[in-house]
Amino acid sequence: METRVEHNVEQKRFEIWADNQLAGFATYENADANRAFVHTEVYSRYEGQGLAKILIRSALDSTREVGLGVLPFCPFVHKFVTKEPEYLELVPKWARERLGLPTA
């Protein structure tokens, strides 16, 4: 399966495409110097194929590239940054404590 992630700025979301079909998305809101990720969804026919991880990793990499922080309100993004220390550093220190994330 060929996948790609696109940033749909107009709809404030990152989209994952599988074999040229929209397979899911991660939505965000702009919050000062941060992107607040609020929802991630992978359509049922694509579940269990690792697409959500590809999507979130790409969305967070893109966010890092433009110099923004991450506010992981979406449960999947929250879990992802908890397990991946290199992405936890994108969450501002003030937000880590409030969101129950490791502070160190």
- Confidence class for position 18, pLDDT limits 50, 70, 90: very high
**C-alpha–C-alpha distance, residues 13 and 55, integer Å:** 10
**C-alpha–C-alpha distance, residues 25 and 48, integer Å:** 15
**C-alpha–C-alpha distance, residues 64 and 86, integer Å:** 11
Residue-wise pLDDT for 66-103, tens only, equals 999 999 999 999 999 999 989 999 999 999 999 999 88
| Whole-number pLDDT of residue 1 | 87
Domains annotated on the chain, with CATH: 3-98 (3.40.630.30)
Is residue 1 within 8 Å of 49, Cβ to Cβ?
Answer: yes
| pLDDT greater than 90 at residue 104 | no
| Whole-number pLDDT of residue 95 | 95
The model's pTM: 0.94
Number of other residues whose CB lies within 10 A of the CB of residue 31: 14
**C-alpha–C-alpha distance, residues 86 and 90, integer Å:** 8
Give the total residue count for the chain. 104
